[in-house]
A = this chain, B = another copy of it.
Amino acid sequence: MLEAHKRRKPRATTPRDPERTRERLLQAASREIYRSGFQSASLDTILASAGVTKGALYYHFKSKEALGYAVIEEVIAPDVHGKWVRPFQSVKDPIDALIGAVRRIPVRPADVRGGCQLNNLAQEMSPLDAGFRRRMARIFDAWREAVAFTLREGQTRRSVRRDIEPADVAASLIAMVEGYGSLAKNAQDPKVMKAGIRNIVDWLRSLRPPGNRKRA
């Protein structure tokens, strides 16, 4: 503390770019929450990872809770939307589309070990904070509704069995995806997730109308 004169700022990053700073905070928070959970996520870790300090954080977000809400709305929700909602907005064969989405679930070791970010946070925070819970419930609802929608459409086009209830099937699909994700996360083993995906795919195939089976 003797040399009080070294006032040289590193200035490695862009001098002033509030939007970028905010985005860096969001991404850093998302990573740290993914690793440690929300409650145990340390603001200091987030700040170090984002390369800013407390002042920047509390300029852009009024509390840790608000930062968490923003991560849900601006990071997690768009991610789920891009993987499980948008792909089904216009589709030829719903079963093919669902199988494709299931097959696109990441199965790299790091992904399997970390689990599903939405499910992680939902498990941790749903009983503890209504703000978290509601925001994530909206994401789950949109997910389920998108899957049910494409199944209903498939039923009218005779590419999906008509003796199944789209809403129930959609819920089952999500439950199996998250359930297998949980098992694989505990096992810390991509093979568990891959086996789960195969089971889900087989089950999805069984939803085609009889006589309309494509492959084995």
Contact = CB atoms under 8 A, between A and B. Distances in A.
Contact of A137 (B126, B174, B179, B186): B186
A175 B188 contact: no
B39 A188 contact: no
B137 A114 contact: no
Nearest to A110: B127
Interface in A36-73: 36-37, 39-40
Given A123-B186, A140-B187, A179-B180, 13 more contacts: A36-B39, A39-B39, A115-B123, A122-B182, A123-B123, A126-B186, A172-B196, A172-B199, A174-B179, A175-B176, A176-B179, A178-B178, A179-B182
A151 B119 CA distance: 30
Contact of A196 (B171, B180, B185): B171
A186 B116 CA distance: 14
11 contacts: A114-B127, A115-B123, A119-B123, A123-B123, A123-B185, A126-B186, A168-B195, A171-B180, A171-B183, A178-B183, A179-B180
Copies of this chain present: 2
Ranked 4 nearest A-B pairs via Cβ = A179-B179, A175-B179, A39-B40, A122-B186
A182 B136 CA distance: 12
A140 B189 CA distance: 14
A31 interface: no
Interface residues of A, number: 40
A205 interface: no
Given A175-B176, A176-B172, A199-B168, A182 B137 contact: no
A195 B183 contact: no
Nearest to A198: B168
A37 B124 contact: yes
A130 to B, nearest CB: 9
B127 A188 contact: yes
